[in-house]
Amino acid sequence: MPNHKSAEKRDRQNVRRNAINTASRTKLRGQIRKLRAAITSGDAGAARTLLPETISVIDRAIQKGVLHRNTAARHKARLTVKVNSLAAK
C-alpha cells in the first residue's frame, strides 16, 4: 500500500499505463501472428498486404515504448525476408 499521496498517484498512473501497454502489446502480437499464418499457408498475396500493416503496428509500438527499436527492427527485417522469399517462389 502506498503511504504518500504521490505514491498513490504513481500507483494509479502505473495501472493506467499497464492497461495501455498490454493492449498495444496484444495488438502487436496478434498482427504478427496473422502475418506469420499467411506466410505459413503460402498465401503470398495476403502476406504482401499484411506486411505494411504489421510494420505500421510495430512502429507504433516503438513510439509508445512497448517495444525496443532494435527488437522492432529485427522483427521487421525477418518478416520482410520471409514475405519476399514467399513471393520469389
Domain hosting residue 52, numbered range: 5-88
Asked if residue 1 has pLDDT above 90, the reply is no
What does the block give as the cell for 51? 506486411
The domain that contains 53 carries what CATH number? 1.20.58.110
What is the C-alpha to C-alpha distance for residues 24 and 67, in angstroms, rounded to an integer? 10
Give me the number of domains the chain comprises. 1
What is the C-alpha to C-alpha distance for residues 15 and 22, in angstroms, rounded to an integer? 11
Asked if residue 86 has pLDDT above 80, the reply is yes
What is the C-alpha to C-alpha distance for residues 89 and 84, in angstroms, rounded to an integer? 9
Q: What sign has the CA pseudo-torsion 61, 63, 65, 67?
A: positive
**What's the pLDDT tens digit per position in 10-63?**
999 999 999 999 999 999 999 999 999 999 999 999 999 999 999 999 999 999
